[in-house]
């Protein structure tokens, strides 16, 4: 029995690719495997007056505070189906809207919108945030 075990161990040791850890070789508590982090980024972003499908129309940095909608467009790279990003809208330093958006693949275009009513003048920004809370892009505009 000892001979068969020695032969099997020798075959496994000789034939196994370098770096493979066998159950007998694991340290107490086992081995922890980690998945490499993906780098999700925003490669395009715009504030626009409208959208044509997922294409921003009328991109600008100033809009009227007249009850019309303003759109935040982003192109997300490096994601995968099931990932989420958020558009967090701020009027000055006050958060006024948070929209969760599904990422559909490694290159995905998406948008959210906010109605800007009279009296909501001033500086605005939209932070694009990953599911773990990292801000990966900020886009600003002014409502007049």
Encode pLDDT of 32-69 as tens digits: 544 445 589 999 999 999 999 999 999 999 999 999 99
- Is 107 domain-assigned? yes
pLDDT of residue 39: 81
Nearest to 69 by CA among 89, 92, 50, 45: 50
Choice between 14 and 47, residue whose per-residue pLDDT is larger: 47
Quote the domain boundaries for residue 72: 41-143
Q: Indicate whether 17 belongs to any domain.
A: no
Q: Which residues pair with 83 in a beta bridge?
A: none
CA atoms lying within 13 Å on the CB side of residue 137: 19
Tell me the Ramachandran region of residue 96: left when phi exceeds 0, alpha when psi lies from -120 to 50, beta otherwise: alpha
Tell me the C-alpha distance between 8 and 72, whole Å. 62
* Any domain includes 28: no
Does 122 map to a domain?
yes
pTM of the model: 0.73
CATH of the domain at 50: 2.60.40.1930
DSSP H or E run through 125? strand 122-130
Q: Is residue 31 assigned to a domain?
A: no
47: Cα separation from own chain's centroid: 18
Say how many domains are in the chain. 1
Q: What is the mean pLDDT of residues 90-107?
A: 96
Q: What is the per-residue pLDDT for 2?
A: 53
The answer, yes or no, to whether residue 24 has pLDDT greater than 90, is no
Of residues 29 and 114, the one with the higher pLDDT is 114
The pLDDT of residue 142? 98
Q: Range with the lowest mean pLDDT among 5-14, 24-33, 121-130? A: 5-14
Residue 30's pLDDT band, with cuts at 50, 70 and 90, is low
Q: Residue 93 is encoded by which pair of tokens?
A: 């330093």
């Amino acid at each position: 029995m000892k001979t068969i075990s020695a032969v099997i161990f020798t075959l496994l040791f000789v034939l196994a690719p370098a770096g493979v850890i066998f159950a007998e070789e694991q340290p107490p508590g086992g081995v922890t495997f980690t998945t490499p982090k993906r780098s999700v980024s925003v490669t395009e972003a715009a504030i626009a007056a409208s959208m044509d499908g997922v294409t921003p129309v009328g991109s600008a940095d100033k809009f009227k505070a007249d009850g019309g909608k303003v759109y935040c467009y982003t192109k997300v790279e490096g994601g995968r189906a099931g990932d989420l990003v958020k558009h967090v809208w701020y009027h000055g330093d006050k958060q006024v809207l948070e929209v969760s958006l599904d990422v559909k693949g490694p290159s995905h275009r998406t948008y959210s919108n906010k109605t800007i009513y009279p009296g909501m003048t001033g500086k605005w920004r939209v932070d694009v945030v990953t599911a773990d809370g990292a801000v990966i892009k900020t886009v600003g505009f002014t409502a007049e």
